[in-house]
Amino acid sequence: MPRPTPPTPSTLPAASQRPPPGRRLRHGAGALGRLVLTLAITGLGLLAVTFFIGRVVPVDPVLAAVGDRASEATYQAAREALGLDRPLWEQFLTYVGNALTGDFGTSVLTSNPVAVDIARVFPATLELATVATILGVLLGVPAGIIAAVRQGTWTDHVIRVLGLIGYSVPVFWLGLMGLLVFYAKLDWVAGPGRLDLLYVGLVEPVTGVILLDSAMAGAWDVFRDALAHIVLPASILGYFSLAYISRMTRSFMLEQLRQEYITTARVKGLPERTVIGRHALGNVWVPLVTVIALSYATLLEGSVLTEIVFSWPGLGFYITNSLLNADMNAVLGGTVVVGAVFIGLNLLSDGLYRLLDPRARP
């Protein structure tokens, strides 16, 4: 009687091919270690860049603090108090240590700790970028799907042209034209700022996001005024986000629609709505989540011009105003926060990609 052939790895059950728990644990620890190392190197590089930028710009932080009419003794005392008389490497180590504890110094312009100022203005930028991203996703994803399904038609061409305009036209010009048309001429939206003076201070800030705070407090008149102020700047930023998301959605959908499984689904007689919505779009969502996260990060760091045009008291407006007043502590602190947010959202998008797509896992 012939001896049975021993099972090969390809004939073993799937469960028996899984690595042992010890190896999975070591693999997870190694991945965590690489993540921590990546974060440390990236964060150190960000701090190094901001530190040396602060040292090469033609702005004297001592003069910004004491004024250009201060005596030489006052100037030297302030220079020693700021630690600028120490060697450059020692200044950098002090800067890194303070930044890790959230200490970015004191703002010359407001006389407040920079961290306090950033905590006050960042929710405004977060609110604006979040509403803009929601608009970009709600309009950009369907537009990209329609453009891909109707490739080569006039609908596809219109959507692509609109996306090209959103990429090409400067944001500040769109903002100025929007204020001229929808605020000054048609009076459809409110003007610059987050609230009219009548409603300022009526709602206790809890999260710093006025739409959310006013809704939780039941102050619907404040909510309506805040919504009237945010709709135009968020639409301008959302148009930029829409252009990017629709373009990427169209590209992802075209790639999926050319796959054999789509042809097989159509041959089987499945409705076109099912083929597009369940099969093609189901595979598109995985890379699209990464695109949306990166678009959100871009809006958080790139809303400076929009905030300036609309006098939106966010982080971008704060950094620009500080730069114009030679307040380098505020400029560097805000830059570090923006960089940290961008790094965090990049890592989040990478993690979501690995979570949603098992093929991307090592």
Gap between the Cα atoms of 106 and 68, Å rounded: 19
Domain count, the chain: 2
Gap between the Cα atoms of 12 and 25, Å rounded: 23
In this prediction, residue 19 carries a pLDDT of 55
In this prediction, residue 303 carries a pLDDT of 77
pTM above 0.85, yes or no: no
Whether pLDDT at 27 is above 90: no
Gap between the Cα atoms of 144 and 245, Å rounded: 8
pLDDT tens string 161-176: 998 888 888 888 888 9
In a domain, 13, yes or no: no
**One domain for residues 355 and 275:** yes
pLDDT tens string 131-169: 999 999 999 999 999 999 888 899 999 999 998 888 888
| Tokens at 92, concatenated | 């950098």
**One domain for residues 55 and 203:** no
**One domain for residues 250 and 137:** yes
**One domain for residues 304 and 353:** yes
pLDDT tens string 58-107: 666 777 667 667 777 787 887 777 777 778 788 888 888 888 888 888 88
In this prediction, residue 239 carries a pLDDT of 92
Sequence-ordered alpha helix ranges (H) in 57-198: 61-66, 72-81, 88-100, 114-149, 154-168, 171-178
Residues 6 or more apart whose Cβ sits within 8 Å of residue 109: 321, 322, 325, 327, 330
**One domain for residues 159 and 233:** yes
**One domain for residues 308 and 177:** yes
Q: What is the mean pLDDT of residues 231-248?
A: 92
Q: Which of 73, 100, 127 is the last residue of a domain?
A: 100
**One domain for residues 77 and 152:** no
Q: What is the mean pLDDT of residues 214-218?
A: 91
In this prediction, residue 359 carries a pLDDT of 59
Assign residue 318 the CATH number of its domain: 1.10.3720.10
**One domain for residues 64 and 185:** no
Domain that holds residue 219: 115-360
In a domain, 222, yes or no: yes
Using alpha carbons, list the distances in angstroms from residue 233 to 53, 221, 303.
Answer: 30, 20, 9
**One domain for residues 205 and 293:** yes
**One domain for residues 209 and 289:** yes
In this prediction, residue 16 carries a pLDDT of 45
pLDDT tens string 262-285: 888 888 888 888 888 888 888 888
Helix (H, G, I), strand (E, B) or coil at 329: helix
**One domain for residues 127 and 252:** yes
**One domain for residues 152 and 200:** yes
Query: In 10 A of CB 145, how many CB atoms?
Result: 21
In this prediction, residue 223 carries a pLDDT of 94
Higher local confidence (pLDDT), 360 or 325: 325
User: Burial level of 184, CB count in 10 A (0-12/13-18/19+)?
Assistant: exposed
Q: Which of 100, 123, 143 is the last residue of a domain?
A: 100
Residues 6 or more apart whose Cβ sits within 8 Å of residue 288: 141, 245, 248, 249, 252
Gap between the Cα atoms of 254 and 141, Å rounded: 13
